[in-house]
Amino acid sequence: MSIDVTVVIPVYNEEEILEDALVELLTNLRRHQNSFEVIVSANGCVDDTEAIAERLAQSHGELRLHRCPEPDYGEALKQGIELAQGQFVICEEIDLCDDRFHRTALAMLNADTELAMVVGSKALPGARDHRPYFRRFATRVLNRMLRTATGWRGTDTHGLKAIRRQLMLPVVERCELRRDLFASELVIRAFHMGCRVVEYPIELSEKRPPSIGLMRRVPKVLSDMGKLAVTVRRNND
Ligand SMILES: Nc1nc2c(ncn2[C@@H]2O[C@H](COP(=O)(O)OP(=O)(O)OP(=O)(O)O)[C@@H](O)[C@H]2O)c(=O)[nH]1
Ligand SMILES: [Mg+2]
């Protein structure tokens, strides 16, 4: 049977919230989707995350676990998109799993066959971001830097997305960065390659604080930002 929707969730050491979040996600998806799958894309976990996902996959046919060895959010997301069978792929985070975004973004993709991606934006007017002030501020700074460095014209790149797989696979294959900035490169490349992308304002409240502290991510993000500016401009010339 063909699959309409794949939800890809990179996870890293999420044993505390994984089971409840996945059961709630599956329950919601069953309400509005006839055929879907959920790929938990885990790598480098040192807690019980992978064992929990494996056990749940045995009792929920729509769920599967994909493993790769190194902790790398971007690589896990990229491999999940490549493995997806659905014509639409939702890129999720285990601490969000936003059913309202799923329903809205899928309706938008169904209504417009040229639409390549719906980006859930935390910064668009109408969005409600309940994270602490410091992280909201960091999101704005990051996105401003991305705009300046790459010439992109959106409001947000990291977090929820829904994509039409066939139109976005060529973009995925051209992305060179991994870790945090893969998701940003995906959105920025789609923009520069002329894909039709729309943003949708989301309401965001996380089920737990981020697993990796913001300040620890900054040096790698800054060095990748430099690489992104160079590679995006090179590929556009
Ligand atoms: N596979 C994989 N998943 C990861 C890794 N780091 C984080 N994740 C997952 O990515 C998702 C988002 O992680 P968070 O820790 O909430 O990060 P965040 O700071 O909210 O992310 P932002 O959207 O950038 O603010 C969760 O599902 C995590 O489990 C990693 O190294 N590998
Ligand atoms: Mg989070």
Per-residue model confidence as pLDDT tens digits over 10-47:
999 999 999 999 999 999 999 999 999 999 999 989 99
User: In the prediction, which pLDDT does 237 show?
Assistant: 62
Q: Which of 192, 186, 187, 177 is nearest to 225 (CA)?
A: 177
Cβ(42)–Cβ(72) below 8 Å:
no
Question: Are 119 and 197 in contact, with CB atoms under 8 Å apart?
Answer: yes
Distance 234 CA to ligand 2 centre (A): 32
What CA–CA distance (Å, rounded) separates 237 from 229?
Answer: 12
Low-confidence ranges of the chain (pLDDT < 50): none
Residues within 5 A (CB) of ion ligand 2: 95, 206, 210
Residue at token pair 């800054």: 222
Q: How far apart are CA 53 and CA 154, in angstroms?
A: 35
pLDDT for res 55: 98
The token pair that represents 228 in the structure block: 């992104």
pLDDT at 210: 81
Per-residue confidence (pLDDT) for residue 216, from 0 to 100: 84
Q: Atom 30 (ligand 1): residue with closest C-alpha?
A: 73
CATH number, position 148: 3.90.550.10
Q: How far apart are CA 199 and CA 105, in angstroms?
A: 10
Distance CA 60, CA 178 (A): 30
- Smallest-distance ligand from the CA of 93: 1
67: β partners = 42
Please, are residues 90 and 3 in contact by the beta-carbon 8 Å criterion?
no
Question: The domain containing residue 201 runs over which residues?
Answer: 5-236
Mutation choice for ligand 1 from 15, 20, 73, 181, CB with most ligand atoms inside 8 A: 73
Give the pLDDT confidence of 117-132 residue by residue, as tens digits: 999 999 999 999 999 9
Q: How far is the centre of ligand 2, averaged over its atoms, from the C-alpha of 108 (Å)?
A: 25
Q: For atom 5 of ligand 1, which residue has the closest CA?
A: 73
> DSSP labels for 176-221?
---TTHHHHHHHHHHHHTT-EEEEEE-EE--SS--SS-HHHHHHHH
Q: Which helix (H) or strand (E) holds 116?
A: strand 115-121
Domain count, the chain: 1
How many A from CA of 151 to the centre of ligand 2? 26
pLDDT score, position 69: 81
Q: Minimum-distance ligand to the CA of 205?
A: 2
d(CA 197, CA 187): 8
Residue 222, C-beta contacts closer than 8 angstroms, at least 6 positions apart = none
Q: What residue ranges line ligand 1, CB within 6 angstroms? A: 9-12, 14, 41-43, 71-73, 76, 93-95, 158-159, 210-212
Nearest CA to ligand 1 atom 18: 210
Rama region for 97: left / alpha / beta (φ>0; ψ in -120 to 50; rest): left
Q: Which of 8, 12, 221 to mutate to test the pocket of ligand 1 (most atoms within 8 A of CB)?
A: 12
For residue 25, how far is its CA from the centre of ligand 1 (angstroms)? Answer: 17
pLDDT for residue 76 = 97
Nearest to 73 by CA among 118, 113, 37, 43: 43
Which residue's CA is the closest to the ligand 1 atom numbered 32? 73
